[in-house]
Amino acid sequence: MTREMMLGTQAATVKAAPAAALDTIVADVIVVFMTEGGVAAGMAAEVDRATGGLLTRLADSGDLTGKRYETVPLLAPPHLKAGQLLVVGLGKREEVDLGTCFRAAATAARIVAARPRAKVAFLRESFWSDAQAEQAVAGAITGMVGQDLYRAEKKRTPFGETLWIGTSTEAVARGTILGDGVNLARYLVNLPPDDLYPESFAEQAATVAGQTGMEVEIWDEHRLSREGCRAMLAVGRGSVRPPRLVLLTYRGRGGDTPPDLALVGKGVTFDSGGLSLKPSEGMLTMKCDMAGGATMLAAAATIATLKLPINLVAAIGLVENMTGPAAYKLGDVITARSGTTIEIHNTDAEGRVVLADVLDVVRGLGPQRIVDAATLTGACVVALGLDVAGLFTNDQPLCDAVADAARAMGEPVWQLPMFPEYDEQIKSEVADIKNVGEGRWGGAITAAKFLERFVGSIPWTHVDIAGPAFAEKPKPWIDGGGTGTLVRTLVTLAQRLSQ
């Protein structure tokens, strides 16, 4: 298995290295992980011995606790050939999971990457499984990259070389691919809308497909018209930049059988709200409204690079929602590709209108199951906050599989109900359905109910990532901006489905 440097990732050398005496490791920084009260155990104990009891003295004075994501930098540590030793807390040993390993390593990398480093060595914790080590490698890859794509003076600088001491080559290779995938999604979300619009996003997707061996098909506005994708075209009418539909195919099992899994992403590269215009403060971060599409592109690219034995299709609907003279209007009735008529009550509820056509295209491919991701509703943020994605489904086993994968990766999700009573709220007096529910109540659910109309009987789960897809403020393990949420979850889901 080889690492593909996917578009948007920043090239850096990441290597596995055999366990070695600590006083022989030459690096700018050595990173060691420690559990609560864990100075006498694991790699922390070895570092403590090598430094003449330095960690024990700091623990005794209360300056070193091992609490989760605590970071203690120690300059010029005695008896080590490193300018700095960084001790990173993992919390209680019995509570360390895959998500903890990812975030702890990302926290360390984010701190160390605040200035250029030629070589950084991470000491694999002795009780980690290969899966935990893999997630730690991925976390370090993401932590060293920020959102400062256009700054002359970068806030984060990827390390020239990263060594993972005592970690297998396979775990390092897989972790690096996962980290690159998360960074690809973050990179796309962080691009400004003048650089990332439907056509340029489609070009980026084609480049990624070429790098990772996926087949790619791009529908321009003429093909969309021939295919009857009138919903997508309606949303895009207000922009001088026409819509695109990207279809990516990966055949990890071989053959021409229907896909085992379809990934569908909302790709509104900028959302002004259309004629239902957003206020300025609500519009500022709307470059992130394509995060669902970025997530699905990155997940598909990662699955292909890992060569998972699964047949996959990914579909991304790309539009700009603008206010030009041809913009779609409140009261318009649009006939979607499926033949369903949609009355427009709010042009800022455009993502579901776009996905109506994309889901119908995917349904025609006959996948065994569909998962879509979209920054769909502010109502989901009201319900669940900024850190939790909402789950909605017509098939409980699939939803459970998505939720289990998310929990394993430490990406919080929560299922909301899909009772039949919510269907009543999207019925229209003049068309089959309308694109918003009755008033403000249950808005995330009525949006999901809208999407459900376009998947037929195929098992389907919708993930509303409006909260966690974009961080307006940094967290210990990641800079502000695009987060790459759900990429690791979807890769894990594909791994489990392929077993």
Q: Which residues are catalytically annotated?
A: 278, 352
Structure tokens at 220: 């321009």
250 half-sphere exposure, CB direction, 13 A CA radius: 31
- Pairing relation of β-strands 261-271 and 370-374? parallel
Number of residues that make up the chain: 499
SS3 sequence, 285-321? CHHHHHHHHHHHHHHHHHHHHHCCCCEEEEEEEEEEE
What is the per-residue burial (b if ≥16 Cβ within 10 Å, else e) of 286-310?
A: bbbbbbbbbbbbbbbbbbbbbebeb
Grouping H, G, I as helix, E, B as strand and the rest as coil, residue 218 is: strand
Round to whole Å and give the CA distance between 489 and 333.
37
Torsion of CA 123, 129, 135, 136, to 10 degrees: -10
What SS3 class is residue 47?
Answer: helix
- How many helices and strands (H and E) does the chain possess? 15, 19
Q: List CB contacts of 428: < 8 A, sequence separation 6 or more.
A: 341, 342, 343, 434
Pairing between strand 215-219 and 389-393? unpaired
Task: Answer whether 445's CB lies under 8 Å from 418's CB.
Answer: yes
> b/e for 114-140, b at 16 or more Cβ within 10 A?
eeebebbbbbbbeebeebbbbbbbbbb
DSSP string for 229-249: -HHHHHHHTTSSS--EEEEEE
The C-alpha atoms of residue 109 and residue 485 are separated, in whole angstroms, by 18
Residue 26, φ and ψ in degrees, nearest 5: -100, 120
DSSP element (H, E) containing 105: helix 98-112
